[in-house]
Amino acid sequence: MGTPLPPNEPGEDCTVCWGTDKTFGPGHTPKYLWLRITELTPGAFWNPALEAELLLPHLLVQTEAPCGYGLMTPNISYSWGFAYGRTYVLVADISTGRSFLSNNPDDECATSVRDWWTEGSQVAAYGGLGTISWNPEYLE
């Protein structure tokens, strides 16, 4: 079952995914999402010094857009967002702008996204899987 997620708190309502008859149900939109990246394959611009950071779980914070979440570390930018008809995901090396994980599938409330780049692409990594989760405790 793994380590329990820490309690959350309500954020601004993202009506794309949360609410009556919405994918994530009628509860409040969480202020925090956990992002875990797995299955990365080094690409042409792989930076091995960043591997340990990439494979840690990251706490993304709701941005000024209620359906967007992000985190910026000194080395990597992490973002996950929901829009009508689409989910946007980008994890990139700040120094080069090359992606570790990137996709925008035709699924407006995806909680798991596979990188769309393949071997031979001019990216830092390809083939990875990003998965988000959150603790619904305290969101009622």
Predicted pLDDT of residue 4? 62
Predicted pLDDT of residue 1? 44
Predicted pLDDT of residue 69? 97
pTM value is 0.91
Give every residue of the chain whose pLDDT is below 70, as ranges: 1-7, 140
Return the HEC string of 86-131.
EEEEEEEECCCCCEEEEECCCCCCCCEEECCCCCCCCCCEECCEEE
Predicted pLDDT of residue 5? 63
Predicted pLDDT of residue 105? 83
CB atoms within 10 A of CB 3: 6
Predicted pLDDT of residue 139? 72
Length in residues, the chain: 140
pLDDT tens sequence across 20-41? 999 999 888 999 999 999 999 9
